[in-house]
């Protein structure tokens, strides 16, 4: 079976955990490495959480390294009201004994791409700070990437603000660098992010299976449901699913401009969806064309995740 080489960049985070568990366990994914970025919570906690999740997944020796402790320009702003004070549902999961890779995130990404004989897809699931720094530091290596499939942005509404999705809003300058890098981009954003959802019965079934991965995943879902009061999205996982099974989503290609101004639109991914264009200026004409996920096959995405997590 042909495996797909992925590097995940995460700000773990409950739904990053759903994505990591899946990436570490799916037989068609060769998870080359994981890099951590400040986002849902601070970098130190993101690293702790990421190592714990890899333990829960029963993952092998996958290199994990630390990246940026803050956005390029803005101060960090966390999302602990959603992800728990530890960013991982406050489940009291024991600390991991895994060792961190000593290389900074940008160097680990470079080394993994250079060492791979097969194409590599980068899957950022948090703010794009590490990815922007990597693109600027090692453009020749970046040019070898097959694609970047990122969770971020929106062709419709935002969540952090009416205009902006959290990951792009957290570091708009980094996002602008990534979107205009010339690397083929798939944006798995808020247009589809909330669609694949799991409920309390599915969480209970995972816990009842009793293996470490499924009960960890089930308890995370239960915490998340308690927090929001209804079924919850598998969120970032969808971007990983799209990276290996693009046929599970349908896409439209838009020219995208990231708003880096300091007004109410800061962090918006302004997608040119006009049917009739009467261009006042060339901003959008010259903008990068991005493949944007607009619909997902919800049952297929949920089943793929449940089967992979429960090992069925
Ligand atoms: C994104 O922000 C984080 O809270 C989630 O993990 C996801 O990556 C959604 O806006
Ligand atoms: Ca995330």
- Ligand found nearest the CA of 194: 1
CA 174 to ligand 1 centroid distance, Å: 16
Q: Domains plus CATH for the chain?
A: 4-310 (3.90.245.10)
CA 272 to ligand 1 centroid distance, Å: 23
CA 281 to ligand 2 centroid distance, Å: 34
Is 125 near ligand 1, meaning CB less than 6 Å away? yes
Which atom of ligand 1 lies closest to the CA of 79?
Answer: 4
Residue whose CA is at the smallest distance from ligand 1 atom 4 = 40
Length of the chain: 312
Low-confidence ranges of the chain (pLDDT < 50): none
Say if CB 11 and CB 83 are below 8 A apart. no
> What is the 3-class SS of 78-100, one letter each residue?
CCHHHHCCCCCCCCCCCCCCCCC
Is cis: bond before 13, omega within 30 of 0?
yes
Whether the full predicted model's pTM is greater than 0.75, yes or no, is yes
CA 245 to ligand 1 centroid distance, Å: 21
Predicted pLDDT at 153 = 98
CA 157 to ligand 2 centroid distance, Å: 18
Pick from 46, 166, 228 the residue to mutate for probing ligand 1's pocket: most ligand atoms within 8 Å of its CB.
166
Is 16 near ligand 1, meaning CB less than 6 Å away? yes
CA 39 to ligand 2 centroid distance, Å: 7
Is 15 near ligand 1, meaning CB less than 6 Å away? yes
- Ligand found nearest the CA of 8: 2
Predicted pLDDT at 83 = 64
């Amino acid at each position: 079976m042909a495996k797909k080489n992925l590097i995940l960049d995460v700000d773990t985070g409950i739904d990053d955990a759903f994505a990591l568990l899946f990436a570490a366990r799916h037989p068609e994914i060769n998870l080359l490495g994981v890099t951590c970025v400040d986002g849902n919570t601070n970098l130190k906690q993101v690293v702790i959480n990421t190592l714990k999740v890899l333990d829960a997944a029963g993952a092998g020796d996958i290199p994990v390294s630390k990246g940026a402790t803050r956005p390029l320009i803005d101060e960090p702003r966390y999302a602990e009201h959603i992800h728990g004070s530890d960013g991982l549902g406050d489940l009291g999961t024991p600390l991991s004994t895994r060792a961190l890779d000593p290389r900074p995130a940008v160097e680990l990404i470079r080394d993994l791409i250079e060492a791979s004989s097969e194409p590599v897809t980068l899957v950022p699931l948090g703010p794009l700070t590490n990815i922007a720094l990597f693109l600027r530091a090692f453009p020749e290596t970046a040019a070898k990437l097959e694609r970047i499939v990122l969770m971020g942005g929106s062709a419709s509404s935002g969540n952090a603000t009416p205009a902006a999705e959290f990951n792009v809003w957290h570091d708009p300058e980094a996002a602008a660098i990534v979107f205009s890098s010339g690397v083929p981009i798939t944006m798995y954003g808020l247009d589809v992010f909330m669609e694949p959802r799991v409920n309390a019965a599915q969480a209970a079934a995972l816990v009842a299976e009793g293996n470490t991965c499924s009960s960890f995943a089930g308890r995370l879902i239960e915490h998340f449901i308690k927090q929001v009061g209804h079924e919850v999205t598998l969120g970032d996982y969808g971007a990983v699913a799209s990276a290996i099974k693009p046929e599970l989503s349908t896409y439209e290609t838009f020219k995208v401009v990231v708003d880096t101004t300091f007004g109410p639109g800061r962090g918006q991914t302004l997608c040119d969806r006009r049917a009739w264009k009467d261009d006042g200026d060339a901003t959008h004409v010259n903008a990068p064309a991005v493949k944007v996920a607009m619909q997902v096959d919800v049952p297929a995405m949920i089943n793929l995740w449940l089967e992979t997590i429960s090992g069925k």
